[in-house]
A = this chain, B = another copy of it.
Amino acid sequence: MTRKECVRRILGEFNAQPQHDSATAWAPANIALCKYWGKRNSELYLPQTSSLSVSLGDLGTQTTLSIASDCDMVVLNGHKVEPENAFARRLSAYLDLFRGDKPIFFHIDTANTVPTAAGLASSASGFAALVLALQSLYGWSLDGCHLSILARLGSGSACRSIYHGFVEWQAGIADDGFDSYAEPLPETWPDLRVGILTLSTAEKPIGSRQAMQHTLETSTLYRAWPQQVESDLPLLRRAIAERDLHLLGQTAENNALAMHATLLAARPAILYWLPESVQSIRTIHDLRKQGAAVYLTMDAGPNVKLLFEKNDVECIRERFPKVAIVSPFA
């Protein structure tokens, strides 16, 4: 099954004509506590394993989609993007799935409140916001499950950015991916905080899609990754249900470091870490020895994110003066 066939199956019953000239939508970025790492189908972005994330409150992407006359035009963070740019081409290729038989073009004005391509998953909030803007522009009334599948066809982890709060993406087993979508967990955790240490905003030497594929193909240790996820997911669900920060933090940290471990064991290795990444990890471990309940997670990049609770905000700010603190549930 192709991406286009998936989209047709979902949209078959809906009107193929836009209902408005323009629509705006917003979606949150998300940070995985159990990572999506490895695809079983790279056309449909079907994952090897399930994953679990928390959406980042007011950090995310806002996108305005309008009907354009004779070609797509992309504006990113207020700057026009050349059509041959990889980002513009990826968006246009995704929008091809929705154009139907008649030629139709879009003006896409998108703005991130997270640094693009700095390991903060702006593609997740980006594709989720785009799907929500499409729903609004066309006047669909798709449910969350179908919106999540459509977002997944843009970027795997985008399927989780359809929702706020804790979100679990079931890997599914079907070849067509119709059982592979995200759902929100009912729990909230008002005191939970996520700290973001931006150590580098440089473009990554290798994007996460390529890194994931290279790891899957060459890292012997990756063979144990599905077992890692299998043991981490129930621990995370329990930690969330019991608001147990230690269990949440230990498990998320172990999962993230295990993901980086599979990258390190790839051949050749992919080392996203900077010296500053190691320094930050060591500082976090020191803080923990001193009694602070702070844990870390990392995505496919050099930046470090902190997990802690409201009562440790001052201690964290003192040790990491440049930290950006997000309240996912406040």
Contacts and interface: CB of A to CB of B under 8 A. Distances in A.
Interface of A: 219-225, 227-228, 231, 250, 253-254, 257-258, 260-262, 264-265, 267-269, 271, 273-279, 281-282, 285
How often does this chain occur in the complex, in copies? 2
A48 B97 CA distance: 52
Contacts of A223: 224, 227
Contacts of A231: 220
B271 A221 contact: no
A271 to B, nearest CB: 6
A265 B269 contact: no
16 contacts: A220-B224, A220-B227, A220-B258, A221-B265, A223-B224, A250-B267, A254-B265, A254-B269, A258-B265, A260-B261, A260-B264, A264-B264, A271-B278, A271-B281, A275-B275, A278-B278
A119 to B, nearest CB: 16
Given A220-B224, A271-B278, 18 more contacts: A219-B258, A221-B224, A221-B262, A221-B265, A250-B268, A254-B265, A254-B267, A254-B268, A257-B265, A260-B264, A261-B261, A261-B262, A261-B265, A271-B282, A274-B278, A275-B278, A275-B279, A278-B278
- Most chain B CB within a 10 A radius of its CB, from A221, A258, A262, A276: A221
Contacts of A276: 275
From DSSP, what is the main secondary structure of chain A's interface residues? helix
B228 A265 contact: yes
Contact of A221 (B253, B261, B268, B269): B261
Contacts of A274: 278
A223 B264 CA distance: 16
Contacts of A219: 258
